[in-house]
Amino acid sequence: MTIGSTMRGLMLIGGLTTAAGTVRAEGVFDATLRIDPDAFVTITVTLDGKPLTLRRYEAVYVGRPVAMATEQPARRMGPGGSPSGAETQTLEDPLTYQKMAIFVPEGASDTAAMILNVSNGGWFASELRPGIEDGGSYVSDSDSDKVGAALAAGYVYVDIGSRGRGILAADGSLPGKAPAAVVDAKAAIRFLRLNDDLLPGSAERIVITGTSGGGGLSAAVAASGNSPDYLPYLAEIGAAGIAADGSSTLADDVLAVIAYCPITDLGHADLAYEWLYQGIRSAANTAGSEWSEAARAASAELAAAYPAYLEGLGLTSADGSPLTATTMKSAIADELTREIERHIAAGGTVPARGETFSLTLPGPGGERQIEQPNDWLTVEGGKVTDLDLDAFLRFVAAITPLKPVPAFDRTANSGNPGVDGENTLFGGPDVAYANFTPFGWNHNEVAGDGSGPDDTGMDWDAWTATAGEGSNWPPRSGW
C-alpha cells in the first residue's frame, strides 16, 4: 500500500488519527445517546389520500439537559408581538426544550435526506411540537404543507424543541440566552450523526428549515457548521461527539438550508421595519395600548437612518442597478408580483379587487378567521396588472397588528414597559435583557439595568469601542 492510499484510508477525528471504519473516538455522552432502533411507535397518516405508515422515535438529544422550572413565564406572543395575556404556564415535560421526534416513512432508504424542522418564532424557546400526528392528513403539492412534500419524497422528518428567550431554569437562571438556540440545534444534528447507522436516512444529507425566528436559527446553524466557537457550549449540555478534552468527534454542518423570512440582521431590523411601515402605522394597527409621542419619535428616527444603511451595503437589483431606499419599494413590489403570479400558475386563486380575502391564521388561542377586502391587487389573465404596495402594507397591518416601536430592541426605551423585546435574547443567564442596537442603547430609560449611558457613562460607540472593558458584557457571545 502506498503512502498516499494509506493516508486516504485514515481520518482525523477529535485530534486522533484512526483507521477509517475501525475505531472512532467517542464523545463523553455518546454511549448514552445511542438510540434503540426498535424503540419506536408506529403511526399511520394519510398522504395524498392514501395511507402511509411511519415509525415515530422520541429522544432527548443531549446527555446533560438543562433542568427547567415547572412554572414557566408566559412567553408566547400574540399578534404583532403583543403579550398573549397569560402570566405563567405549567411545563408538562421538563425536557421538552431538548427533545426531538423523528419520523421515518415506511420504505425510507439509508440515503434519504433528513428534514430538520426548527421553530423559535421571535427567537422564543420552542417546546417540542411534533409536526406529524397519528391519523393526520398531508398533501405533497401544497405550498404550505412541507410535511407532505417531505414524506412524498421519502425523506425522514425531524422536529426538535430548543431553548430560546423567555424560559426559566429550575435554579432561577435564564437558560435561553444566545447562543442557546443555535447550540441546541447543533446538538440535535450531532445526535442524528451519532445514530446515523441505526436509522434510515442519511445524516450527511440534513436540510434544516424554519420560519421567522426559526428561519434565522436555520441560517445561523447553516452558516456556522463545525465552528469551534460553539464547542464549550455543546460540552456544557452534553452534546454528542464532544470528547472529554473538549474536542469534537462529530460534525454539525448541514447539507442545505431552507430559511423562510429569517430574522437574522437584528442589529438593523428596527431601521428597516420603521422605514417600511412609516406612514402606515396608527393607534389602530400598532400593538400596545397607545401610539405615543415617544413611539412616534422613535419610529421617525429609526426610519430616517435606514436609507444610509441600505446604500452602504452596495447591493444591486437583478438588472444591476443600485438597490437604494428610492428603489427598494419597487423591488419589493416586483418580488410580490412574481410570487402572486407563481401562486396563480400553480392553481391558486386571488379575489378580484373589491372582493374579500378569507384567511385562516394562527393565533395564541388557536386558529382565527380573517376577512379583509382586496383593495390593493388587480389580476387579469393570471398576471398582476396593478399592485399598490402601500395599500398592501395596510392590508398586512390590518390582519396582524404591527410590532411596537422599536420592533425588536424595544425593552427599556421609547416608553416600552415590560420585558418583551428581542433584547431578552441577549445578556447573561442572570440578566433580563441587554440592548443590542445603537438606538436601544442610547435611548435606554431604566437605571440599574446595565445597559445605556445612564449606567455605563458611555454611548453606544464608546461602549462598543471598549467592548465593555472591565466587565463580562456580553457574557453569552458566539453569535
Burial (Cβ within 10 Å: 0-12, 13-18, ≥19) of residue 295: buried
Query: In 263-371, where does DSSP find H-type helix?
Result: 266-277, 293-312, 328-345
Give 63's contacts (C-beta < 8 A, 6+ positions apart). Answer: 28, 29, 32, 33, 237, 238, 239, 240
DSSP 425: G
Do 253 and 227 meet the contact criterion of CB atoms below 8 Å apart? Answer: no
Which domains are assigned to the chain?
A: 41-260 (3.40.50.1820), 266-399 (no CATH)
pLDDT(260) > 80: yes
Q: What share of the chain is helix, strand, coil (3-state, %, to 5)?
A: 30, 20, 50
pLDDT band at 211 (very low <50, low <70, confident <90, very high): very high
Amino acid at 3: I
pLDDT(22) > 90: no
Q: Which three cell numbers stand for residue 148?
A: 407532505
Q: What's the pLDDT at 307?
A: 98
Q: pLDDT tens for residues 415-445?
A: 987 778 899 999 999 999 999 999 999 999 9
Q: What's the pLDDT at 467?
A: 67
Q: What's the pLDDT at 160?
A: 98
User: Which neighbouring-strand residues pair with 165?
Assistant: 124
Residue 259: closest CA among 330, 303, 211:
211
Per-residue pLDDT, averaged over 19-24, amounts to 43
Do 79 and 363 meet the contact criterion of CB atoms below 8 Å apart? Answer: yes
Average pLDDT, the chain: 89
Q: Calculate the alpha carbon distances from 110 to 191, 196, 257 in Å.
A: 16, 9, 20
Q: What's the pLDDT at 75?
A: 60
Q: Which three cell numbers stand for residue 405?
A: 416601536
pLDDT band at 264 (very low <50, low <70, confident <90, very high): confident
Q: What's the pLDDT at 1?
A: 26
CA gap 277, 478 in Å, rounded: 32
Q: pLDDT tens for residues 128-173?
A: 999 999 999 999 988 789 999 999 999 999 999 999 999 999 999 9
Do 287 and 82 meet the contact criterion of CB atoms below 8 Å apart? Answer: yes
Give 407's contacts (C-beta < 8 A, 6+ positions apart). Answer: 81, 269, 270, 273, 274
Q: What's the pLDDT at 6?
A: 27
